[in-house]
Amino acid sequence: MTVRDWMTPQVETCTPNADLSCASMIMWRRDCGIVPVIDPETSTLVGVVTDRDICMAVATRHRTPDELTVRDVMSTALYTCKPEDEITTALGVMRRRQVRRLPVVGEDRHLVGVISLADVIRHTAKPGARNQPAITAQELIDTLREIERPRAAAKAVEVGPSVMAEAVPS
- For 61-74, b/e burial (b = at least 16 CB within 10 A) is beeebeebbbbebb
Rounded mean pLDDT, 47-73: 96
Which residues share a beta bridge with 116? 101
Residue-range definition of the domain harbouring residue 143:
3-168
Q: Higher-confidence residue: 124 or 24?
A: 24
Give the total number of structural domains in the chain.
Answer: 1
The pLDDT of residue 170 is 38
CATH of the domain at 44: 3.10.580.10
The pLDDT of residue 136 is 80
The pLDDT of residue 34 is 97
The pLDDT of residue 108 is 86
Task: Tell whether pTM > 0.75.
Answer: yes
The pLDDT of residue 166 is 45
The pLDDT of residue 161 is 44
Alpha-carbon span 17 to 70, nearest angstrom = 6
Q: Is residue 157 scored above 70 in pLDDT?
A: no
Per residue, the 3-state secondary structure of the chain, as one string, reads CEHHHHCECCCCCECCCCEHHHHHHHHHHHCCCEEEEECCCCCCEEEEEEHHHHHHHHHHHCCCHHHCEHHHHCECCCCCECCCCEHHHHHHHHHHHCCCEEEEECHHHCEEEEEEHHHHHHHHCCCCCCCCCCCCHHHHHHHHHHHHCCCCEEEEEEECCEEEEEEECC
Write the pLDDT tens digit of every residue in 18-46: 999 999 999 999 999 999 999 999 999 99
Alpha-carbon span 147 to 51, nearest angstrom = 17
Alpha-carbon span 142 to 91, nearest angstrom = 10
Mean of pLDDT over the chain: 86
Question: pLDDT-derived band of residue 168, with 50, 70 and 90 as boundaries?
Answer: very low
Q: Higher-confidence residue: 47 or 140?
A: 47
CB atoms inside a 10 Å sphere around CB 6? 19
